[in-house]
Structure 1
Amino acid sequence: MIIRSPAVAGTLYNGDTQRLLAQIESWIADGDRRALPRPPKALIAPHSSYAFSGTTAAAAYRLLEPVYDSIRRVVILGTNHEAPSRGLWAPRCDTFRTPLGDVPVDRSSCQALLDRAEVNELDLQHDREHSIEMQLPFLQTALDSFILIPLLVGACSATLLAEILTPLWGGPETLFVISTGLSRNQSYAAAIAQDEHTAQRILSFDNRLGYPEACGFNALNGFLQLAKINQLDAKQLALTTSAEISGQKHQVRGFGAFVFY
C-alpha cells in the first residue's frame, strides 16, 4: 500500500491530532446553519493556511452536517502550484494520511480516468502540493467514512474537464470540492473589489475565470460548466481576506466559500 504522508501538517495547519480536531470542530460549530433547499452537491473552499482561511472553509463544511453519513465519495479538484502543467493528474497512492487518520483513494475510479489521454498518473507520495491535503481534515471532521478521488487540474478547457468529470457525478453519495484561493498579493481595496466581482461570476456560472481571479481557475471553470449542465443552484457563504487576520493591507490574499446544490 502506498500512503501519501501529510506534507504541510505542522506548517499550514496544526499537526497535533487533538488540537486540530478541536479547532475544526469549533469553527464548524460557530456559524450559520440555515438549511439549503436541497443537499449540497459541491463546495468551493480555500486552501491557504488555516490561520487565515480556516473559518472561511468552515462556512462551507458546516453545511455537510445534515448529510454527514450519506456522502460516501468525495472528488477534490486541486491545482498544482509547484509545477503547473496541462491536463489532469491522478495519484498513484492508495491512501492520503493526515493527523486525523487515513482516507482511502477510490483506485478503480482513478484507474478508469487514467484510460483517458488527458489524465496522467502523479506520484503524490513525495509531492508537496497542498491544495488537496488542506481539504481533508475538514472532510474527516464533517463526514463519516468516505473514499477519495483527488485530482490536480492543469491547463484544461472547461468543456473537456466537464466531460471528464461527468462519469464521476453520481448521486447524493458523491460530493465535489473545488479547492482554490481567490485574489493574491493585492492591496486590501483591490482584493475586496476583485473578489466581489469574481463571486458574482461564480454565482452566474461564468466559466471564463483566469489566474488573477483564482489560482484554481481551471478546475473552477470546468466544474461551473458541469454545474450549469446539471442545473445546480449556487450560494455564496463567505468572502474574507488575510488582512482581517494579519492587519497587513499591502499584500492581501482573498478567500471564498460557496455551495452548489
Structure 2
Amino acid sequence: MSGTFYPGRAPDLQAQVQRLLDDNAPQEAQAAPPRALIVPHAGLVYSGPVAASAYNLLRTHAQAYARVLLLGPNHRMPLRSMAVPSTAGFACPLGVMKLDTARLRDWVDHGWVEYNDEVHRLEHCIEVQLPFLLSANPHWQLLPVIAGQAPKEAVAELIGRGLDSADTLVVVSSDLSHYHSYGIAQRIDRATSQHIERLEADLLPDQACGCVAVNGLLRAAARRGLSVHCVDLRNSGDTAGPRDRVVGYGAYAFA
C-alpha cells in the first residue's frame, strides 16, 4: 500500500502522520487508556484526519499496551471466516510491526481463525493503520485479523479475548457509507453513528464496510459494560474529495 494509500518514503510519511496528529488533537485529554477504537481506512489524505483524531487518544497511553488486535474487512477476496497471516511481521516505510505469532498459532490451533496469506496480501484495511500504530509505539506486537462473512458470535468471542486482556488494544478498521452525495451520506452516517453509540450490533454493509468486525466489537463491548463515544464523524467531502460521491469516516473510542 506504500505509495498508494500513503507516501512511499519514510520522511514524507512520518511528516504526514505527524501533521495529521497535530492538526486533529482532541480538545480534552483522555483520562484513561481506551479499550478499543474504530478507525477508517482510506488513503491518509482522505480518512487520515478522522483516524488521527482517534489515534491521538493513545499519545499518553501507548505504553499501556503490549499488543494490538486489529480487525478489518475483506475488500478483494471472498472469505467466509476470519483469517490471519503466517508471516512474522507487517512492514511499511516507518518500520516493521512484529506479529504475536505464538498467539496467532494458538488461535489457529483452536479453530478460531485460519491462516490465509493471500487475503492479507491484497488487503489495505490493516496496512493503512500501520503508520499510526508504529508512530504511537514501534514495540507493539500485532494480531491482524481479516473478518470475512464470519458469524457475529465468533467475531465477538475473538474480540472479547482482546478486551479481556488489559495489555491488548482492540482496533476495528472500517469506513462508513460509500458513494452517496454529501448530504445523503451525512444523514446515513449520523444514523449509523447512533447505532454504534448505543452499542447496537446490527449494522449492514451499506452502513459500514467493516460491519462484521464492528458488530462483533459492539456485541463484545456491550457484554462487558463498556461505553463508546464518537470522537469524529466526517466524510471525504470534508477532507480532500468532491461532494458528489463521498465516503463516510467515523472514529470511536470504547472505555
**Category of TM-score, reference length = shorter chain:** over 0.9
Q: Which amino acid in 2 is paired with 1:25? A: Q
Deviates most, 228-237 or 22-31: 22-31
**Aligned length, in residue pairs:** 254
SS in 2 for 1:114: helix
Which residue in the other structure is 2:57 paired with? 63
Structure 1 residue 246, shift from structure 2 partner: 4.1
Report matched runs for 1:186-201 at 5 Å. 186-201=180-195
For residues 249 and 5 of structure 2, what CA distance do their matches in structure 1 show? 15
Deviates most, 169-178 or 48-57: 169-178
For residues 191 and 126 of structure 1, what CA distance do their matches in structure 2 show? 29
For residues 20 and 246 of structure 1, what CA distance do their matches in structure 2 show? 17
TM-score w.r.t. length of structure 2: 0.94
The answer to whether the 8 Å contact 1:33/1:62 transfers is: no
The answer to whether the 8 Å contact 1:183/1:254 transfers is: yes
Structure 2 unaligned spans of 5+: none
Pick the aligned partner of 1:139 from 115, 133, 144: 133
Deviations, residues 38-88 of structure 1 (Å, cap 9, x unaligned)? 321111111001111111100000000111222110000011100132110
CA gap of 1:11–1:55, structure 2 versus 1, over 3 A, is: same
The answer to whether the 8 Å contact 2:112/2:154 transfers is: no
The 4+ residue runs of structure 1 with deviation greater than 4 A are none
The answer to whether the 8 Å contact 2:237/2:243 transfers is: yes
Structure 1 residue 33, shift from structure 2 partner: 4.6
CA gap of 1:212–1:125, structure 2 versus 1, over 3 A, is: closer
For residues 106 and 133 of structure 1, what CA distance do their matches in structure 2 show? 16
Which residue in the other structure is 1:169 paired with? 163
Which residue in the other structure is 2:197 paired with? 203
For residues 62 and 139 of structure 1, what CA distance do their matches in structure 2 show? 11
The answer to whether the 8 Å contact 1:79/1:215 transfers is: yes
Structure 1 unaligned spans of 5+: 1-7
Asked if 1:11 is matched to 2:4, the reply is yes
Deviations, residues 209-247 of structure 1 (Å, cap 9, x unaligned)? 010100000000011111111111111011111112345
CA gap of 1:123–1:29, structure 2 versus 1, over 3 A, is: same
TM-score w.r.t. length of structure 1: 0.92
Report matched runs for 1:209-224 at 5 Å. 209-224=203-218
Asked if 1:185 is matched to 2:179, the reply is yes
Which residue in the other structure is 2:230 paired with? 236
Structure 1 residue 126, shift from structure 2 partner: 7.4
Deviations, residues 135-193 of structure 1 (Å, cap 9, x unaligned)? 11101112251000000001122222112333333443210110000010111111000
Deviates most, 188-197 or 37-46: 37-46
